[in-house]
């Protein structure tokens, strides 16, 4: 990998991190009050946070994080692949919520899933978005 390619990857990673941080913040702003106050179950709160993050993430990642990366000649393919990756993200986050908060599993506090959601899910989605969605 040449210097230019490394710099491009680094730039994408920085942009992805900034957008991902913002989108994750939106997720937390939706998830936390719903799950933390018991307004709904942690899984329903996760789903609500997912929808807000997915829509915002698609717009920002496609227009800024991965700008100039890959071909944009097939928008339907890019959109459907982004949706699949977002479903993988949802499933991963739902898994974290289940394992860490469900009474049949670790029965932890509502905020425990936020730790892997903040650190594991972004790494998975960056790799999939870069290689498969916007590549």
Task: Provide, for the chain, the percentages of residues in helix, strand and coil under a 3-state DSSP scheme, each rounded to the nearest 5.
Answer: 75, 0, 25
Provide mean pLDDT across the span 89-104: 94
Q: Phi and psi at residue 61, in whole multiples of 5°? A: -70, -40
Instruction: Say what the pLDDT of residue 94 is.
Output: 94
Q: What is the pTM of this model?
A: 0.75
Q: Per residue in 103-115, pLDDT tens?
A: 999 999 999 999 9
d(CA 122, CA 101): 20
């Amino acid at each position: 990998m040449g210097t230019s390619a490394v710099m491009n990857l680094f730039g994408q990673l920085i942009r992805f991190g900034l957008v991902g941080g913002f989108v994750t913040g939106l997720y937390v702003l939706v998830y936390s009050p719903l799950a933390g106050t018991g307004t709904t179950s942690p899984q329903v709160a996760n789903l609500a946070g997912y929808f807000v993050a997915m829509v915002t993430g698609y717009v920002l990642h496609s227009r800024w994080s991965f700008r100039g990366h890959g071909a944009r000649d097939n928008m339907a393919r890019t959109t459907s692949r982004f949706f699949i990756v977002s479903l993988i993200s949802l499933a991963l986050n739902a898994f974290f919520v289940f394992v860490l908060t469900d009474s049949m599993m670790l029965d932890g506090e509502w905020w425990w899933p936020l730790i892997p959601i903040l650190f594991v899910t972004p790494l998975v989605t960056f790799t999939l978005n870069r290689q498969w969605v916007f590549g």
